[in-house]
Structure formats: structure tokens, C-alpha cells
Amino acid sequence: MLIGFQNVTFEFGARVIVADATWHIQPGDRIGLIGYNGTGKSTLLKVLVGEYTPSKGTVEKGRETTIGYLHQDLLSFDTNDTITEVALGAFERVRELEKEIERLGIELEQNSEDEALLIKYTDSLHELDVLDGYNIQHKAEEVLHGLGFSNTDLARPYKEFSGGWRMRVLLAKMILQQPDVLLMDEPTNHLDLPSIEWLEKYLIHYKGSVVIVSHDKFFLNRMVNKIVELYQQQLHIYSGNYEYFEQEKSVRIDMQQKAFENQQDYIRQQERFIERFKAKASKAAQAQSVQKRLDRLDKIEDVQLERPDLRINFQLDKVPGKVLVHLKEVSKHFGALKIVSNASAEIERGDKIALIGANGKGKSTLLRMVAGTEKFDGDRIWGHNVEESFYAQHQLEALTMGHTVLEELQHCGSKKTDPELRSLLGAFLFGGDDVDKKIKVLSGGEKARVALAKTIVSKANFLILDEPTNHLDMHSVELLAEALNKYEGTTILVSHDRYFISKTANKIWEIVDEEIKEFKGSYQEWVEWNERMEKQRKLGTANEEPKPTPIVNKKQEAAVPTQPLNKDAQKEVQKMQRKLGLLEDELSKAKKTRVALENELGNAANYSNKDQFTKIEAEYKAADIKHNQLNEQYEKLFEELMELELKS
């Protein structure tokens, strides 16, 4: 064991975070620590590293165990050093050795016959070599590049960067320290998609143990082999990734609910007995005995949903025209930084667009251009009957500080009832008396959630959302995704949450070479398309510059040969193309069947009929297997076709 809890109880004020919890972190563990916002996950990490002391039990730690702890409080650190120097701070012993070697070298120049001095010098050189000290500059730059910093950034002072970029520097330093246990509190919050993907690849090969607090399901599914859930003041441990945890928790919740109901039946029976016989002399002693037994009973907790379901019916006042926004030959530059140049794009009714890419590419700028709040060159043509609602961090300034949370939504013109508004606010983590808090006393994250709730509850037929999931927990992200799926209007959003994008987008936009590139399909289809293009590039000549133009029709991908073909090869290509077309049709049908059955599984009405649910579940599994098999056949045939075309 590296570190862990033994029968730990910890209270934060009058609130119990955990009671009698035991949890051991072993070498090789990759743990996702999860739970609803406010349950105390971050507090638990502070207990683990010794910042807080448990009221009962012990925190056990191996004598030689080293711990790295990434958390928001680190942002108080400030320095004039470059970001490379800050990252190199991870190599304290190497830096000490470098200074010692320099000092010993100067002394040896003055006294080259001193054997003891020469031995010290040689030993220091050997230790530096063992620690791979000659490569620390390269290691630091490699990690900083991976986290999104350019070559010119490496020499810039740390204090010039914003909070999000500073957190990346501190993450780089922690990674370079290579601790035995790496504790990471929401590490993806300040990262863009390329940096998250780089971090995933790095941590997969990380030799130490990792504990991650995150609301990013994709990240957890790829990174962890164990889930620890903080729920009802207990730590529930599951072996497997987040997807496995969801399946197993559903089973555990069902069992707990049945056990609770059985115990409640037992308690009611015993209480009826006590009430009936406590006044009778012949039965009073027995009634008292039953009462004592009930008092000693270890009560099973009721399974309570800690977050309400988001039930909101969107009512759009107006139906817009077919095209909501047409950007025509638009250009936007910030000095030498070019965002787009003579770019054009259209947003049509019913589009659910996710604008993705690395930080600094201008995603938020493009959103503001769409909304009309950013000046640019070119034309923005607004469609007929378009009513937009724009959510971004600056919307916090439009909140009325004197209103309560509930009053703020009451005044936004949605005509929703108070119960409907309370249900919505519950999904955005405002439960019970929280809705009566004044806006002026809320934290920045809480204000952001109020602004987002106002955006969602509006009667707008066009929603523009900039990082809407930043201050939400997993459950709230799911509810928001569900709400946007039911929304009959049009959306364009920026988010680094891949789960959220995958659930809400039917189109992907990227800013590539100062143009707006559009992919018509889901995020998963975009990922698969990118992987196929990467394979195609590897099969092609290395000197060719790949063109990042999205291909939205698989038949078109295979239809254009890379060079003229001889007759025999051309016949074979045509034969494979026909086969590919048939496979694509089958794949499309299989996908529709799977989606339809998936919707049936999500229909609560089917839960009450066990036989019906079991039948649908079996059909879904069969449809899923068939879809995956067809997809594999398609991918294999596609690769064969590409190889044939390239060889011919």
C-alpha cells in the first residue's frame, strides 16, 4: 500500500464527509474519485495529503511514498521565472547536482591533485547521469509542448499567463516530478481537446498510481481501472472504468432499494406490535425488548436521487427560416494572429453544431462573431425570425445582483411555474434553500450556472453556448445534454467535454488554415473519420501535405482514386466500391436499428414490464454486435481499397 484510509471519519463543520471509511491505494492503481458536486471529493484529497486531520481513524502512508497533488489552490503561486524554469523546478536534486559539479569543477582547477575532491566530482557526475540529468531541458520542453505551449511561450515569464495556462505549467512540473501517487483534482478543466488527448497518452504509460477527480466521462473511461464513489458518506469501490461502474452501480442501487423496502416493512410490523402490546402488562416486557432491538437496528439508507431530473418543455415562440446565420467571406485578425480569412459558413434550422479545436484557434471569437458581439470584416446575414440566446462568461455581468436565484429566472420571461424553475435549478446544482440565495453572494461558478439556466429556459430558437459544462457535475452534464437533445431549436457550442459533445452534436466545426471546416455527423463519426484519414495519410507519400477537408459521405471517400488505374485494377476497384456501397447501406440500417432499440431501453415505461425489457435488451445487444461486425468489415474493405488504389 502507498497511502490510504483506515476507518476514517471526517466532519467539515457539522457535516459528515465520510464515516468509518477504509480505502487503500496500491501500486498500479488508476482511480477515478467521483461523486456529486458538494459531497466532498476535493476535501477527501486534502485529508489524504494531510491538510485536514480526520476526527477518527488514521491516514496511512508508506515511508518512501512521494505524492503529487494538483489542485486549484496552486494558482496562488506567482513568479517572474519563465515557464520552462518553473517546470524544471521538478528536478530539484538535478539542479543541486549541477551547482555542486560547477563548484567542484572550479575547486579542481585550483587544486587538481586533491583526490577526495576528485572522488566527490566523479560521484556527482555519476549521480547526475543516473538521474538522466542531461536531458531535463528536453523532458520539460516535451511536456510543455504536449500541454499546448509553443516554442516562443517557453521563454515567457510565468506571470504573463492566465490562470488556465498557469495550471498547465504546474501540471507539467508535477508530471516531471514522477511521484509515486499523483492526485489530480479536475485536471482537464483548463485543457483543450488536443492537450487532454496528450495527457491521456502520457498517463497511460505513467509508472506511478493516479487518483483523478473529474467530471469527464471519456477521460475516466480511458484512464482508470478502479472507481471510488463518495455517496451517502461512504466510499463505494468498483473495479473497472466509469462505464463498468455505471452498470454495477445500477445493480447495487436496485439491491439497496429492495433491502431498504424490506427493512421498512419489518420496522412497520415491529412498530405495530409495540403500539398494540406496550400497554398490556403481559406483553409490555416483550414490547420493550422489540423496541430495544429496533433502536439497535443498523438502518439501511433510502436510495435518494441527490439531483432531480430535468423536466423542461421548450416552447419556441417563433419558427425561424431554413438558414439562421450565413457568414459570408468573413475575416478576423488580432494583429498578426489570423483567426479566419475570407471564410464562409451557414447554420441551418435544426443544426446542433460543436465547434472544437485547440485553445487559441479562435473558437470563442467565432461564437461572438455568430452572435454579432464581435467586430469583423465580411458579412453576417441573419435569418428570418431568429431569436438567439448567448451564454458565455461575460453574461454573468447581466445578472441582477439584488435578485435571488429563483427571482432571476422568474424575471427572464419564460412563463415557467415556480416548481418548473426549481426543478431546472436543481439540475444546475441549486437545491432546497439555495434558490433563495442572493446573486451577489454567489461564487463565480454559481453565477455561471444561474446564467446558463437563464439561457436554457429562454424561448430562444437559437442557443449559442460557450463552455456550458465548466461548472457542472456529471449528472448535471447528462441532464443538460438530455435537455438540448429535446430542444427543437438550433445550437452552436464550444466545449472540451467529449461526452457532452458526443451526446449533443450532429455537426462538427473546426477552424483549419483560417477556414471554417464542417463535418456533417456526430463527434464519434468525426473521430472515426479522422482515424481513417490518418491511416490514409500513412499509406500515402510522406511528402504530401494532408488536406483537412472533411468528407461526409463514405462513398465519396472511396470513389476518387489517388492516381490513374490500369484496366484490371480499375475493375477490381469498381467491384470493391460496389461492395463498399452495399456494406454502407447495411451499416446505416444497423445503426438506425441500434439507435431505435437504444431509445426503447431509455423509455421508462418499459421498466415496469420485466419480460418486455429483457426482450428489448437482448435485441439491442444483438443489434450492437451486428453493427460492430459490419463496421469492422467496412473498415477492413476501406483499407484494402485504399491500398489497392495507392499500389495501382
pLDDT tens for 223-237 read 999 999 998 899 999
What is the C-alpha radius of gyration for the chain, rounded to an integer number of angstroms?
30
What the block records as the C-alpha cell of 337 is 494572429
Cβ atoms of 616 and 601 closer than 8 Å: yes
Is the pLDDT at 533 greater than 90, yes or no?
no
Tell me the C-alpha to C-alpha distance, in Å, between residue 426 and each of 310, 418, 475: 8, 12, 11
- Tell me the CB-side half-sphere exposure of residue 273, using CA atoms within 13 A: 17
**Higher per-residue confidence, 472 vs 217:** 217
| pLDDT in the model for residue 53 | 94
Q: From the CB of residue 401, how many other CB atoms can be counted at a distance below 10 Å?
A: 11
Three-state DSSP at 592 gives helix
- Kindly report the pTM of this predicted structure: 0.68
Lowest mean per-residue pLDDT among 347-351, 470-474, 501-505, 506-510: 470-474
pLDDT tens for 245-282 read 988 888 878 888 888 888 888 888 888 888 887 777 77
User: Kind of pairing, strands 30-34 and 226-231?
Assistant: parallel
Is the pLDDT at 339 greater than 90, yes or no?
yes
User: Kind of pairing, strands 490-494 and 56-61?
Assistant: unpaired
Cβ atoms of 86 and 79 closer than 8 Å: yes
What the block records as the C-alpha cell of 83 is 515557464
Is the pLDDT at 60 greater than 80, yes or no?
yes
| pLDDT in the model for residue 569 | 67
Is the pLDDT at 66 greater than 80, yes or no?
yes
Read off the pLDDT band of 46 (50, 70, 90): very high
| pLDDT in the model for residue 248 | 87
| pLDDT in the model for residue 342 | 94
State which of 56-65, 254-263, 353-362, 609-618 shows the largest mean pLDDT. Answer: 56-65
- Tell me the CB-side half-sphere exposure of residue 129, using CA atoms within 13 A: 6
C-alpha closest to that of 208 among 68, 71, 74, 32: 68
What the block records as the C-alpha cell of 530 is 479522422
User: Kind of pairing, strands 337-348 and 56-61?
Assistant: unpaired
| pLDDT in the model for residue 607 | 55
pLDDT tens for 377-413 read 999 999 999 999 999 877 777 889 999 999 999 988 7
| pLDDT in the model for residue 609 | 66
Cβ atoms of 190 and 197 closer than 8 Å: no
d(CA 398, CA 404): 14
Read off the pLDDT band of 553 (50, 70, 90): very low
Is the pLDDT at 494 greater than 90, yes or no?
yes
Buried b (16+ CB within 10 A) or exposed e, 52-79: bebeebebbbeeebebbbbbeebeeeee
Q: C-alpha dihedral over 507, 508, 509, 513, to 10 degrees?
A: -130
**Higher per-residue confidence, 76 vs 142:** 142
Read off the pLDDT band of 518 (50, 70, 90): very high
Averaged pLDDT score across all residues of the chain:
85
pLDDT tens for 166-179 read 999 999 999 999 99
CA quadruple 444, 52, 217, 201: dihedral sign: positive
Tell me what percent of the residues of the chain surpass a pLDDT of 70: 89
DSSP string, 234-256: EEEEEES-HHHHHHHHHHHHHHH
DSSP conformational letter for 608: G
Lowest mean per-residue pLDDT among 54-63, 245-254, 411-420, 592-601: 592-601
d(CA 531, CA 534): 5
